[in-house]
Structure 1
Amino acid sequence: MTDIDTERDTRVAVITGASSGIGRETALRYGERHARLVLAARSDGALREVAEECRRAGASDVIVAPTDISDADQVEEMFDLAVQRFGRIDVAAQCAAITAFGRFEDLPAEVFDAIIRTNLLGAANVARSALTRFQPRGAGQLVLVGSLLGVTAVPYQSAYVASKFAICGLVRALRQENRHLPGVRVHGIYPGPVDTPVYASAGNYLEQQTPRVPPTSDAPGTIAAAIVRAAEKSSSTERQVGWLNLPAIATYRLVPGVFDAVIGPLIRRVMFTAQSSADSAGNVFEPPATGRA
């Protein structure tokens, strides 16, 4: 455990997507630092489990706020609750995301649209609610989790790729707009593949292929540590996280023809099993029964 995990932290952190994966690990990191937490996701049951884990880890106080971030009103209510309880918000980390696999034309339009609403419009809702509370104080750290797939397009996740490309642009625009406020910082964290429930719970429209965690995946704790470190910075930052990211970006930009020729077969080989599965929206519209997504 590093110093950043063990030192006392009295800040208030709002974490979306906190029911599993990167969001859960981020919540636990702040819990270990004795922060006060507001945990948001769609699943009340899973959030309560994570909240109890955070309390055991050392969190000073924890609020559970079931929230669908694609709904701007729900996000505003969640931020209002945080301010009413703790008086301020110091960190907002947007970790929620959903995806579906399949060729673009095979994805139902409503599935494509729902992914854009959560991943892009949901992130924008969180950013808006956070910044409108940070700016009057002149202080606050906003962290938006994007993806390697926000700078390198790949097949079979068109909605996810489109949403994450947009997140990169949103982060840069928000950095520019808040440069005059020295205490307000905007950070982009861009992971490569991460070992989270997103693969098992994703929508799937690839005939006779089932998504699986790629062997190149990082642990979610690696990304959570990067989020916590970013929120300590005195200037806005953007960071690629994962050993695969820089080689992939270099190949994508320098030899795009080679990248486009090999990426499809590579993804089919490492990210899918041959196990047959029926078309499914996965957790696109509702969290799974276990709540861990």
Structure 2
Amino acid sequence: MLVTGASSGIGRASAIEFARRGASLVLVSRSASTLADAAADCRAAGATAVECVPADVLDAAAVRSAVDRATGTFGRLDVVVHAATVMAYGRVEDLDPAVFQRVVDTAIQGTFHVFQAALPVVRDQGRGHVVVVSSLLASITAPTMGAYVAAKWGQLGLIRTLQQELRELPDVHVSAVAPGGTTTPIYGQAATVLGNTGHPPPPVYTPERVARAVLAQVAKPRRLQQSGIANPVIIAGFRLFPPVFDALVGPLLKVFGMARDSVAPTTGNVFAPVPEKEATRGRFRGI
């Protein structure tokens, strides 16, 4: 299997979860140093073999090379978990256009590159699974998160289109897992112009819990799996009671979705990795 975003958060947790089941892994991330740490975790967890490919999903040739590494080394590609993403906080009018574009491109164009590299392989094999880590924010909106919302809505649209295009291949599956608040390092790595960093909104889950949902998609594929008990309720509120939702989401996000810290405006890891902030879990407690 191949995992993008494998050096941190849900991608790393998913790689370790599959390693516990003896998988042979190709790990992809922009950060070579933390990718090596993730590989060590996977070997310790029981992986049969681990290959590391430092690469950015925005580099189509690099993504193809990672897929070629998997097929060249292991002879086939059974599972792809695409978890690479970046995030930014700020009102739409205040965001640096380059930051906005990079957040959106990483989700949409990066996913496109993964699909274009992996799907010809699984199509030729006649079977395979691609699981994309989506987000609750692919189904709702939230103020100051416009870049990430646009990115995830667009990514989910691409996923759903591909699911329609692959209907004639019953053993080729494209699935999405949509976590709610998850204690990963992304909140401290995000770009922000708000003067503070983000906080995973409650209920907060561990990346290991989301990784188990990713694993479940391989065993029993679904088009979209919400990973969070509150997700369906929040989505229903967004769709059925938009005036109420819009009145509440801003104040609730300030209280439950923002950290009580103070930071200067930063581009975070949007343009380049920040290895010292990468890990499986973030600093918030999860269940």
- TM-score normalised by L of structure 1: 0.92
1:212 paired with 2:199, answer yes
Q: CA–CA distance in 1 between the matches of 2:96 and 2:152?
A: 19
Structure 2 residue 222 is the aligned partner of structure 1 residue 232: no
Amino acid at match of 2:272: E
Residue 190 of structure 2 contacts residue 197 of structure 2 at CA under 8 Å; is this kept in 1?
Answer: no
Segments of 4+ in structure 1 off by > 4 A?
none
Matched residue, 2:23 = 35
Task: Tell me the distance in 2 between the aligned counterparts of 1:25 and 1:245.
Answer: 21
Range with greater deviation from structure 2 (163-172 or 99-108): 163-172
Cα separation, 2, equivalents of 1:27 and 1:209: 31
Task: Find 1:122's aligned residue among 93, 103, 110.
Answer: 110
How many pairs are equivalent? 279
Aligned partner of 1:242 in structure 2 is 228
> Please, which moves more after superposition, 272-281 or 33-42?
272-281
Equivalent positions of 1:1-293 (< 5 A) are 13-206=1-194, 208-233=195-220, 236-290=222-276, 292=278
Q: Distance in 2 between matches of 1:147 and 1:248?
A: 13
Q: CA RMSD in A?
A: 1.3
Shift of 1:73: 1.1
SS at structure 2 position matched to 1:210: coil
- Contact 2:176 2:224 survives alignment (8 Å): yes
Contact 2:160 2:223 survives alignment (8 Å): no
CA displacement 1:51-97 (0-9 Å, x = unmatched): 01111111000001111001111101111111111111000010111
Give 1:274 deviation, angstroms. 4.3
What's the % identity of the aligned pairs?
Answer: 40
Equivalent AA in structure 2 for residue 223 of structure 1? V
Structure 1: gaps of 5 or more residues: 1-12
Q: Could you tell me which amino acid in structure 2 is paired with residue 43 of structure 1?
A: S
Residue 27 of structure 1 aligns to a residue whose secondary structure is helix
Superposed CA deviations along residues 140-183 of structure 1, whole A, max 9, x for unmatched, are 10111111100101111111101111122112111111111121
Whole-angstrom distance in 2 between the partners of 1:134 and 1:236: 18
Q: Unaligned 5+ residue runs, structure 2?
A: 280-287
CA contact 2:86–2:269 (8 Å) conserved in 1: yes
Cα offset, 1:291, TM superposition: 5.7
Structure 1 distance, partners of 2:4, 2:103, is: 16
Hey, what does 2:284 align to over in structure 1?
none
Task: Check 1:230–1:285 CA distance in 2 against 1; reply closer, same or farther (3 A cut).
Answer: same
TM-score (norm. length: structure 2) = 0.94
Q: With CA pairs under 8 Å and 6+ residues apart, which has the higher RCO, 1 or 2?
A: 2
User: Which digits, 9 at most, give the CA deviation of each residue in 1:111-166, with x for residues without a partner?
Assistant: 00111111111111112211111111111101111111001011111111011111
Contact persistence 1:139–1:183 (CA under 8 A) = yes
